[in-house]
Structure 1
């Protein structure tokens, strides 16, 4: 490889990892600038095009901002694309995890408010809203195991997903089992699924 082609490869990989993180060039420049010397969006553009070589310390700062290793910047195109795909999905899942945390706080607030309302209503509460067997929405919500409920809903959505629908029914009884089977299904040494046509 020539120095120029190395610059193009590094630039292409910076772009792949930046995009996978959901960052604009301006976002990346700002993140890098927070750690030291001022960096501009135009500099990121030139690095990604391969028209400006990346300095060693700049590479470290870019890697820190993107949360990738220095060696990742020199990966071949196919490997970098595969890694960027994993990075993109894990970034989105991290964002969803934050959403779940925020939703958990809102859910907790509503459940406490409902419990207070049930306590205030006491025996005078409508039998439709609060029943001893939990059939009414009042105690039904208070008695819900939200972890199990989320797992059931996730497994139901997963089982209807196009990618999972094509799999044998005995591939797992939980979301984790099915997903682990998909992630590890008969991969050969080249990372190809042996069951799929090349």
Structure 2
């Protein structure tokens, strides 16, 4: 929800009535947030209205002074008024210069605060994105580790199966060699018998 000028005025009035100084930070805190630029511009108007509403104090000169001035004549009073006005004008120039410098410094500080707030928000979003990426990477790592464990398990099973087949193949080869030897012996005996049979005829 956007902060309006009336919201800023109300917050500044409440702070001022409670005896607190309505600074930019205090007003922003009372509003619960908002742009420093918007609050700063609204506070300039609020201070201007407060200054315009203040009625300058005018006090009549004491009777004794008036009597003395009456003796010296209206010319002396005019000189005094002129000197006071000159001094007031100089003080006003100094005040306006200081006010301009303060407003410029306040503007720069406000812009800087808004920039920091934007950078903070950008950093927060980047951190959130990095957390998502980290979570995804961890999930992928867990999946890869599970797949690796399954592959290792299968490899172990295949190694065991190959070992069994190797043992079985060795046994079959031994039996085959024995069978060949037995066949050779039987073949030799058969030839002897056949030879004996031919001789007996």
Radius of gyration: which is bigger?
Answer: 2
Q: Which structure has more helix as a fraction of its residues?
A: 2
